[in-house]
Structure 1
Amino acid sequence: MRYHRRMAMTTDDCGSVRPSTNLSPAAALFHGLADPTRLAILQRLADGEARVVDLTGLLSMAQSTVSAHLACLRDCGLVVGRPEGRQMFYSLTRPELLDLLASAETLLAATGNAVALCPNYGTRSRTGATIDAEETGR
């Protein structure tokens, strides 16, 4: 509930309650984290540095796909690359990201993964059906 306490609410002339802070950066962060491949990359990087070749083997994806996801995470400021010779080693930029991912796991466990039933974003939605097909090979 810390997030809720930090998010100040105001009431407009019509009585509608609205957040008094700009939530666009938070929405952008969660949008960046909304992809299963990017989450898998972050989960791997939580264990330490990795090269693109390490991630392609783990994820069974093309180098170009993994590189595109790493570029997204880098552009969001969530990962950083460290060159060593001709290789680039990627790592998380902020330890707070581990706290966020751990909190998400705790929330999912507490809700019994009820978010998977969400008609818009759950595993049975259009996006989720694609994810299910990719995971199961169907």
Structure 2
Amino acid sequence: MDTTTTQNRETGLDEAAALSAATCLFRSLGEPARLAIVRHLALGEHKVVELTRHLGLAQSTVSAHLACLKDCGLVTSRPQGRASLWALTSTPEVLGLLAAAERLLAATGDAVTLCPTYGEAAAR
């Protein structure tokens, strides 16, 4: 038995559940518009109309992505008049994740963009 399996049994961690949750998190951030929304919300609360203007996306598109991010527990909203203000739920943790991603991209020379499965050519 390897040490990882032993550690997981000793701490009660379910490795499969943890990997599944991490995969879902990265999928939620893996769509360019959602990642742009998250990055913009890292600056503070915004209304949908502000996000729409900043990102150049349709209101329905922004709203759909916000609903997805809300379902994932990454954003929350609060009413303000007839509109809602949207914000990150865990700003320090999200900023830490984005900073770690930037450091990893810098360390690998953005090699992931050349990946035949997930790189820029695969997206075309």
The two structures have a TM-score, normalised by structure 2, of: 0.86
**Following TM superposition, by how much is the alpha carbon of 1:61 offset from its aligned partner in structure 2, in angstroms?**
1.0
Q: CA RMSD in A?
A: 1.4
**Following TM superposition, by how much is the alpha carbon of 1:58 offset from its aligned partner in structure 2, in angstroms?**
1.0
Q: Which residue of 1 aligns with 2:46?
A: 50
Superposed CA deviations along residues 67-110 of structure 1, whole A, max 9, x for unmatched, are: 00000000000000011111100010002111001100110011
Determine which of 59, 63, 67 is the counterpart of 1:67.
63
Secondary structure of 1:47 counterpart: coil
**Following TM superposition, by how much is the alpha carbon of 1:10 offset from its aligned partner in structure 2, in angstroms?**
3.3
Q: Which residue of 2 aligns with 1:14?
A: none
Distance across 2 between alignment mates of 1:119 and 1:77? 31
Give the number of aligned pairs.
112
Secondary structure of 2:85 counterpart: strand
Percent identity reads: 59
Determine which of 97, 100, 111 is the counterpart of 1:100.
97
Q: Which residue of 1 aligns with 2:115?
A: 118
Secondary structure of 1:82 counterpart: strand
Q: Which residue of 2 aligns with 1:33?
A: 29
Secondary structure of 2:15 counterpart: coil
Unaligned segments of structure 1, at least 5 residues:
1-7, 12-19, 130-138
Superposed CA deviations along residues 22-67 of structure 1, whole A, max 9, x for unmatched, are: 2111110011110000010011001000110001111111100000
As a proportion of its length, which structure holds more helix? 2
Stretches of 4+ aligned residues off by more than 2 angstroms: 8-11
Q: Which amino acid aligns with 1:46?
A: A
Q: Which residue of 1 aligns with 2:5?
A: 10
Q: Which residue of 2 aligns with 1:132?
A: none
Q: Which residue of 2 aligns with 1:81?
A: 77
Distance across 2 between alignment mates of 1:62 and 1:101? 25
